[in-house]
Structure 1
Amino acid sequence: MTSTGAGSVFARIDLTVLGPPGATRPSLMVHVGSRAVLLTPEESRKALYGPRRDATLGAAVWRQAVTEARREPRDGDDIGRLLVVWLVLPGLYRNLYRILRLWRQVDQADLEAEAVLAVLAALDAVDPDDPDTGGRLIKEAVNRMWAYAKRVTREIPVVDIGAFAEARNSTAPTEERPRPPEGWEVHITPPPRREGLYATIRFAEPHPRRGGRRTGTRLPDMVFRARRHEEADLIGTLVLRPAGARR
Structure 2
Amino acid sequence: MTLTGSGGVFALIDRGVPGLPGGKQPSLTVHVDSRTLQLSPEESRRVLYGSRRDAALGAAVWQQAVTDARREPRDGDGTGRLFVVWLALPGLYRNLHRILRRWRWLGRADLEAEAVLVVLAALDAAAPAGPDTGGRLIKEAVNGMWAYAKRVTRETSVVDIDAFAETRNAAVPPEEGPRPSEGWEVHITPPPRREGLYATLRFAEPRPREGCPRTGSHLPDLVFRARRHEDADLIGTLVLRPAGARR
2:141 matched residue in structure 1? 141
2:226 is the alignment partner of 1:203: yes
In 1, distance between residues paired with 2:144 and 2:81? 18
Query: Does the 8 A contact of 1:88 with 1:137 survive in 2?
Result: yes
In 1, distance between residues paired with 2:137 and 2:11? 19
In 2, distance between residues paired with 1:227 and 1:99? 49
SS in structure 1 opposite 2:73? coil
Query: How far 1:190 sits from its partner (Å)?
Result: 4.4
2:234 matched residue in structure 1? 225
AA of the residue aligned to 1:104: R
1:104 matched residue in structure 2? 104
Query: Does the 8 A contact of 1:66 with 1:128 survive in 2?
Result: yes
In 2, distance between residues paired with 1:227 and 1:55? 77
Query: How far 1:70 sits from its partner (Å)?
Result: 0.5
Query: Does the 8 A contact of 2:201 with 2:234 survive in 1?
Result: no
Q: Where do residues 98-177 of structure 1 align in structure 2 (5 Å cutoff)?
A: 98-158=98-158
Query: How far 1:37 sits from its partner (Å)?
Result: 0.6
In 2, distance between residues paired with 1:116 and 1:29? 25
1:69 matched residue in structure 2? 69
Query: How far 1:148 sits from its partner (Å)?
Result: 0.2
Aligned length: 192
1:57 matched residue in structure 2? 57
Q: 1:226 to 1:18 in 2, by over 3 A?
A: closer
For the aligned residues, what is the CA RMSD?
A: 3.6
SS in structure 2 opposite 1:18? coil
1:24 matched residue in structure 2? 24
SS in structure 2 opposite 1:31? strand
Query: How far 1:124 sits from its partner (Å)?
Result: 1.8
In 2, distance between residues paired with 1:69 and 1:148? 26
Query: Does the 8 A contact of 2:44 with 2:61 survive in 1?
Result: yes
Query: How far 1:23 sits from its partner (Å)?
Result: 2.2
2:203 is the alignment partner of 1:188: yes
Q: 1:190 to 1:118 in 2, by over 3 A?
A: same
SS in structure 2 opposite 1:53? coil
> Please, which runs of 5 or more residues in structure 1 have no aligned partner?
166-183, 206-217, 229-233, 237-247
AA of the residue aligned to 2:226: F
Deviations 1:152-209 (A, max 9, x none): 00111346888xx9xxxxxxxxxxxxxxxxxx98673745779x99x9666343xxxx
Tell me the TM-score normalized by structure 1: 0.67
Tell me the TM-score normalized by structure 2: 0.67
Q: 1:79 to 1:225 in 2, by over 3 A?
A: same
In 1, distance between residues paired with 2:86 and 2:76? 18
Aligned sequence identity (%): 64
